[in-house]
């Protein structure tokens, strides 16, 4: 039985990034509505024609993914599925075609979604241009999932105290930058959560990564991902939120330290961090303007 993977979420939550990852992992054929729109009608279609263009693409893509499902090929439907009627109709169609439907809900803090959209607007690469007014107006079109809609939760949220055991489990699972004093770090986590300074990535029903910024000294306290979930872009999604925590606290530069010769060192160098020296432990000290 073929499976259709439905991706639900508002603008900027990372739907296409996640859909692309699913496409490679399953494997499956991905259908991202925005990519079809921009290829056929440009990245900023006229407002008065947008609804018509949208409908045409939706119908055309619908015919193709339906054929794929009938042929036993898994599909990833990166359509957002903003209203309940559309979700129910699509799931009913999938079942009628002999397939299985799997619904994913992606979420992300609004400040971060708009930051992503602002960045994306500078280099669209197949995405639609989204003005701030459009971002606000379209919220009235968005219908969140109901409690009765079975889904797989994905995305970013602030950590809560009940996340501490899982955060520490992730920290202990790492092969690099191992802890010297686990009890101290556990206490730090609890304190940071009280100040809303830890962000977590949730996937497959559990926290799979976390990032934290220490507002006392402008330091990135931690950025760690479960080994099995590395290489999926989770670090790139979490780190900006930890940096934004520091910026909002009045810091102009973020700092961190890591062991030389590790994947962490390569990650920070690749993502624009600069080495400024070494600390007393011999670790490399990085910084980046906020």
Provide the Cα torsion 242, 244, 245, 247; round to 10°.
130
- Per-residue pLDDT at 30: 98
CA distance linking residue 137 with residue 84, whole number of Å: 19
CA distance linking residue 156 with residue 212, whole number of Å: 13
Domain ranges of the chain: 3-154, 159-289
Q: Residue by residue, what is the 3-state secondary structure of 3-16? A: EEEEEECCCCCCHH
Q: What is the CATH number of domain 159-289?
A: 3.40.630.30
pTM metric for this prediction? 0.79
- Per-residue pLDDT at 135: 94
Question: Which CATH number fits the domain 3-154, given the four candidates 3.40.309.10, 3.40.50.300, 3.40.50.720, 3.40.190.10?
Answer: 3.40.50.300
Residue 202 preceded by cis peptide, ω within 30:
no
Fold: same for 3-154 and 159-289: no
Per-residue pLDDT of the chain (290 residues; tens, 9 = 90+): 899 999 999 999 999 999 998 999 899 999 999 999 999 999 889 989 999 999 999 999 999 999 999 999 999 999 999 999 999 999 999 999 999 999 999 999 898 899 899 999 998 888 899 999 999 999 999 999 999 999 999 999 999 999 999 998 998 887 665 555 555 467 778 888 888 789 999 998 899 999 999 999 999 988 999 989 988 889 989 999 999 999 999 999 999 999 999 989 999 999 999 999 999 989 999 999 99
């Amino acid at each position: 039985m073929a499976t259709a993977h439905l991706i639900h979420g508002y603008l900027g939550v990372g739907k296409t990034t996640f859909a692309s990852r699913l496409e490679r992992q399953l494997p499956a054929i991905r259908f991202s509505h925005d990519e079809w729109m921009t290829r056929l009608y440009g990245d900023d279609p006229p407002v008065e024609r947008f609804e018509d263009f949208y409908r045409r693409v939706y119908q055309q893509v619908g015919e193709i993914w339906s054929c794929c499902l009938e042929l036993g090929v898994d599909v990833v439907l990166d359509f957002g599925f903003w209203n309940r009627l559309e979700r129910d109709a699509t799931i009913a169609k999938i079942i009628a075609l002999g397939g299985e439907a799997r619904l994913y809900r992606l979420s992300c803090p609004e400040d971060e979604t708009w930051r992503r959209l602002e960045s994306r607007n500078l280099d669209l690469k197949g995405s639609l241009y989204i003005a701030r007014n459009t971002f606000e107006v379209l919220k009235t079109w968005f219908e969140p999932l109901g409690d009765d809609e079975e889904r797989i939760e994905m995305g970013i949220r602030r950590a809560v105290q009940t996340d501490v055991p899982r955060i520490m489990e992730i920290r202990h699972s790492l092969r690099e930058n191992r802890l010297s004093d686990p009890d101290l770090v556990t206490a730090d986590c609890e304190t940071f959560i009280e100040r809303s300074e830890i962000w977590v990535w949730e996937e497959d029903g559990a926290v799979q990564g976390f990032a934290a910024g220490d507002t006392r000294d402008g330091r990135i306290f931690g950025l760690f991902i479960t080994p099995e979930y590395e290489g999926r872009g989770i670090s790139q999604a979490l780190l900006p939120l930890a940096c934004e925590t520091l910026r909002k606290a009045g810091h102009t530069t973020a700092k961190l330290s890591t062991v030389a010769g590790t994947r962490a060192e390569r990650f920070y160098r690749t993502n624009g961090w600069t080495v400024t020296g070494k600390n007393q432990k011999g670790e490399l000290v990085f910084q980046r303007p906020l």
